[in-house]
Amino acid sequence: MKYKKLCECYFELEKTQKKLEMVDLLAKTLKDASNTEIGKIALLTIGKLYPDFVGIELMIAERMAIKSLALATGKNEKLVQKELEGIGDLGKMAHQMLEKKPQSTLLAFTQQHDEEEELEVLDIWDILDKIAKMSGEGSSDKKIRTLSGLISKVSPLEARYIIRLVVGQLRIGVASQLLLEALSVAKTGSRDFKGVLERAYNRSSDIGYVAETLYSEGIEYLKNIDVEIFKPIRVMLAQIVSSSEELLEKFGGKCSLEYKYDGLRVQIHKQGKNIKLYSRKPENITNQFPDVLRFIKEASKIDEFIIEGEIVAYDLRKQKILPFQEVSQRKRKHDIEQKAKEIPVRIYLFDVLYFDKKSKLDTDYLERRKLLSEIVKETDNIQFSHQMVANSTDEIEVFFNQALENSCEGVMGKNVAQGSVYQAGARGWNWVKFKADYALSDTFDLVILGADYGKGRRAGKFGTFLLGCFDQDESLYQTFTWVATGFTDEHLDEFYKLLKPLSRDKPKEVFSDIDCQYWFDPHIVIEITGAEITVSQMHTCSRGHLDKKTDGLALRFPRFTGKIVDDRPPDQATSNEEIRTIYLNQKDK
């Protein structure tokens, strides 16, 4: 497939807000893809070269992309930067600049005439892959020149999406769920097989692999795709309950309880001497925790498994779990061993996903839990999560208070009945979470959608932030609250640096009646606390699910807790359904 044809599809996708139209538009183009290119097309369409767990990224900063564009167009770099400030979208600017560029422009460093080439998708992918793998001394300059050479060869429309792709802001509104539906339509002619594709994706975290398998082997083969070592499983998520009574009621009077630790969720894959750690995004974080690798090697009883747990920062002297902010400092690329000494960690294991060369996702919870003792032995550094089976609210309250006393956030309630399977990639009712905050002042993981500039000491920085939740049914972000409190000057400096490169026109994946001075790609997730949830005519959270169809929900007296939730992707942020559950329980009280 010509890359230009794919870009023409992207351009049409940008112009529509309707999900079904987007699916059909994308499916029409994907239908013409070959078996050898569909996997790469799928990844490119969600803005990636490889799945997250592979760890190969383009690593092109905006300033490098600006230099490449300046070289390709023969314009002064400062003029390109100034023009960007007015347009706010580097891809759109590249499109406009190349449409105006004289045909006589030469690229002296390549000794090539500026003529468009009809490049295939695989040609584009190969060049971008080459850029991503450049490293060592002088690699930045090589990346700039290679990208500039590519821009000079393609049409303005293609340059629009190449530039956006390399800076991580494709902006066509296609998330994994929409892409899976489009793949189903493209290959089978029906949306009905999306669930089959989603199951395979949840077990492999590799949408390129799912697409390639669908095209080369067919839908029946895809039904048998299952768990493999070193292909992380998309994590199971929990619903929220607001009381011990509700927790027990959800599970018919009997449930398992575990401490809810305030750490980094980790999926541990082992095969022989090879061990890899994956976050819930899922990214490969193996190199960031050399101490955890040693702990696993020492504690392992068998050679091959996938288990899940929580890495927490741990004060060895006080024998105490430390807050999330401490363990989050371990996610770094430099001085890793030194940081491991400064911030020791402990792992609390709570589930088994693969054992005896078989997936355990469809095995009931208590049976999975028992397998932990066959896989690893408990040590000072590796423990099984604190757990008990409860039959009464009194037992829940006692265990809940013990969790808080042990520096935990609350408890996880888990189904112990038949059918208590691991629902990969889903937020089902086999697991629920009950935190102290849900009974007092709610905490939420919310996505920064927009911002207004501050005043006074906040002048020149973003001072007020528009935050949203995620609607899983529509794959949209809905507004939930504005927040301006809880931020230090250091926080405001950090958010300005993080968010300014993400600024854009209002994203099509955001459902909002509110206007902002700045809109952002929905990437940054932060933790917010508040007093109560109220009905709102302004915010869109849960609109259409309340008594009045025009009502939404909003958070009163919101405050930033100081926690950036960098191990949670935005589509796993607090959902509108979770917020609605808390609101209805609050209303009942």
Q: What is the per-residue pLDDT across 236-261, written as a single tens digit (0 to 9) for each?
A: 999 988 889 999 999 999 999 999 99
> How do residues 50-79 score in pLDDT, each as one tens digit?
999 998 988 788 899 999 999 999 888 888
How many structural domains compose the chain? 3
> CA 563: distance to chain centroid?
16
Q: Are residues 425 and 452 in the same domain?
A: no
Please state, in angstroms and rounded to a whole number, the distance separating the CA atoms of residues 550 and 535: 10
Q: Are residues 401 and 265 in the same domain?
A: yes
166, 183, 199 - which closes a domain: 166
Residue 23 falls inside a structural domain: no
Q: How far apart are the first and last CA of the chain?
A: 59
pLDDT at 402 over 50: yes
Question: Can you give the pLDDT at residue 300?
Answer: 97
Residue whose token pair is 């894959």:
269
Mean pLDDT of 291-317: 96
145, 166, 187 - which closes a domain: 166
Any idea what the CATH number is for the domain that residue 363 is in? 3.30.470.30
Residue 481 falls inside a structural domain: yes
What is the span of the domain harbouring residue 148? 48-166
Any idea what the CATH number is for the domain that residue 128 is in? 1.10.3260.10
pLDDT at 564 over 60: yes
> How do residues 337-363 score in pLDDT, each as one tens digit?
899 999 999 999 999 999 999 999 999
Range name among 115-119, 458-462, 464-468 with the lowest pLDDT average: 115-119
Q: Are residues 393 and 474 in the same domain?
A: no
Q: Are residues 380 and 457 in the same domain?
A: no
Q: Are residues 484 and 409 in the same domain?
A: no
Q: Are residues 396 and 528 in the same domain?
A: no
Please state, in angstroms and rounded to a whole number, the distance separating the CA atoms of residues 181 and 203: 17
Residue 581 falls inside a structural domain: yes
Please state, in angstroms and rounded to a whole number, the distance separating the CA atoms of residues 238 and 574: 10
Residue 490 falls inside a structural domain: yes
Mean pLDDT of 213-235: 96
> Which residues are tagged catalytic?
260
Residue 205 falls inside a structural domain: no
pLDDT at 589 over 60: no
Are 304 and 229 contacting, i.e. CB atoms less than 8 angstroms apart?
yes
Q: Are residues 149 and 242 in the same domain?
A: no
pLDDT at 381 over 80: yes
pLDDT at 106 over 60: no
Mean pLDDT of 510-523: 93
Residue 145 falls inside a structural domain: yes
Question: Can you give the pLDDT at residue 257?
Answer: 97
Q: How confident is the model at residue 110 (pLDDT cuts 50, 70, 90)?
A: very low
Question: Can you give the pLDDT at residue 354?
Answer: 98
Question: Can you give the pLDDT at residue 277?
Answer: 98
403, 436, 469 - which closes a domain: 436
Q: Which pair of tokens denotes residue 509? A: 């994946």
Mean pLDDT of 136-165: 95
Any idea what the CATH number is for the domain that residue 558 is in? 2.40.50.140
Q: Are residues 431 and 448 in the same domain?
A: no
Instruction: Sort 398 into a burial class: Cβ within 10 Å, 0-12 / 13-18 / 19+.
Output: middle
Q: What percent of the chain has pLDDT over 90?
A: 76
Mean pLDDT of 109-114: 44
Question: Can you give the pLDDT at residue 588?
Answer: 64
Residue 292 falls inside a structural domain: yes
Are 430 and 412 contacting, i.e. CB atoms less than 8 angstroms apart?
no
pLDDT at 268 over 80: yes
Q: How confident is the model at residue 107 (pLDDT cuts 50, 70, 90)?
A: very low
Please state, in angstroms and rounded to a whole number, the distance separating the CA atoms of residues 166 and 126: 13
Please state, in angstroms and rounded to a whole number, the distance separating the CA atoms of residues 77 and 82: 9
Q: Are residues 521 and 571 in the same domain?
A: yes
Residue 92 falls inside a structural domain: yes
Q: Are residues 366 and 428 in the same domain?
A: yes
105/521: higher pLDDT: 521
pLDDT at 193 over 70: yes
Q: What is the mean pLDDT of the chain?
A: 91
Q: Are residues 378 and 244 in the same domain?
A: yes
Q: Are residues 333 and 397 in the same domain?
A: yes
